[in-house]
Amino acid sequence: MAGVRLIALDLDGTLLGPDGDVSDRNRSAIAAALAAGWQVTLATGRHRYGLVQALVTELGLTAPFVVLNGGEVWAGDTLLSRTPFTQVQVQQLLDVMQAAGCFYWAASVSGVFPQDKFPADVASEQWLKFGCYAERPEVLAAVWRQLQALGPYELTQSNSANLEINPPGVSKASGLAVACRVLGLDASQVVAIGDGRNDVPMLRWAGCGIAMGNASKPVQDVAAWVTATCAEDGVACAIERLLSARAEATGP
């Protein structure tokens, strides 16, 4: 793909292997992309704290990165974008999930709170993303229908047993658009790689969307092509293919 300037990577089920770590081959491929003059970033549903910040540092990534499915965009320690829920929306989400009897959690500016650790004063936090978990698909389907009716909300899933909720208009694609404005790039210069339904917006938005081999068929169907699974270093396979294509296009 000609014109690649930025590669955006999901974490779970994409850059991270089944063991929850980044393989040596994936690390080497990212280093090769950086050496070739491309930028690499992360676009994840996770909070900034912990693994995300550690990987940004370990992998030598300098491009703005996207967390909480677009709820925040950071450049190092500088906040570029943050989109919280209103307090009315927060109470609405809590009412629906509590009535459904599913396990729920939420991420605020300060961290991630499971349902039994919510602050006594919910309004004391800026809430950026909610999620709920249920083993029975019909429970999640009911919550989804209620929130669609009450919305607008951005509703998605990172796996079949969960539901993730962001404020309207917030997605990994909107987060990457912020990053690209800072970098002076447009969507046509971005390659996005992911495996979950929460990756679909960025796979569609990017100039080249690549689905992991372990992604579900609906995710693979929106991608330009499908790489290997996360257990097979699919990120490295994709980057190596992109670098090879560039070498062939530019010649010796």
- Same domain membership, residue 179 and residue 246: yes
Note the pLDDT tens digit of each residue in 93-107. Answer: 999 999 998 999 999
Last residue of a domain, one of 166, 194, 217: 166
> What confidence score (pLDDT) does residue 153 get?
95
> What confidence score (pLDDT) does residue 136 get?
87
Count of structural domains, the chain = 2
> What confidence score (pLDDT) does residue 1 get?
52
**Which parts of the chain sit beneath pLDDT 50?**
none
**What amino acid positions are annotated as catalytic residues?**
10
Domain-located, residue 1: no
CATH number for 125: 3.30.1240.10
Note the pLDDT tens digit of each residue in 109-140. Answer: 999 999 999 999 999 999 999 999 988 888 99
Provide the terminal-to-terminal Cα distance of the chain, rounded to the nearest Å: 17
> What confidence score (pLDDT) does residue 2 get?
56
- Same domain membership, residue 201 and residue 153: no
Last residue of a domain, one of 166, 181, 206: 166
CATH number for 42: 3.40.50.1000
Residue 140 belongs to domain spanning: 87-166
What is the value of pTM for the model shown?
0.94
> What confidence score (pLDDT) does residue 251 get?
66
